[in-house]
Amino acid sequence: MIGPTITVKGDLSGEEDLLIEGRVEGKIDLPRHSVTVGKSGHIKADVYGKVITVEGEVEGNLFGEEQLVLRQSSTVRGNITAPRVSLEDGANFKGSIDMSSKEKEKPAPASSTPSRGRSDALGGAGIPGPKPERPNGKV
């Protein structure tokens, strides 16, 4: 826990859940743990956590591995990235929300279908190759 009278300038990382009631400027990196910004918490940082809950103020981007919750008392200025996002009625939020899952972001495996015709062999779907010349030299 970071108490209400504590100010941290710099990066935070660790292997346990964190409750922030004070001020933090920098980066908070706890991707396998819960991060809670309490009602008196003031964050000016990007936050990485498994589950992120905001009750206070955050100026920065939030990256939740599993879930992100903005409580009624929260004020957030930044972008949110998490597969599950909850904004309670009264939450103050300005930014974008990206809820695409990591599974969707992975590139599709290369097709094992053999090439069919000249356009596939040239790498362009449906793009014809150069026209063959006729024996008289006219195209």
Per-block average pLDDT, block size 10, for the chain (139 residues)?
95 96 96 97 97 98 97 97 96 95 53 48 50 57
Total-model pTM = 0.72
Q: What is the pLDDT of residue 106?
A: 46
Q: What is the pLDDT of residue 133?
A: 58
Q: What are the phi and psi torsion angles at 24 (to 5°)?
A: -135, 130
Task: Compute the distance between CA of residue 93 and CA of residue 108 in angstroms, rounded to an integer.
Answer: 34
Q: What is the pLDDT of residue 100?
A: 84
Tokens for 44? Answer: 């000016």
Q: What is the pLDDT of residue 97?
A: 96
Residue extents of the structural domains in the chain: 7-100
Q: Residue 120: enclosing H or E segment and its boundaries?
A: helix 118-121
Please give the sequence-ordered ranges of beta strands (E in DSSP) within the chain, or none if there are none: 7-13, 18-20, 23-30, 35-37, 42-54, 57-59, 62-70, 75-77, 80-81, 85-87, 92-94, 97-98
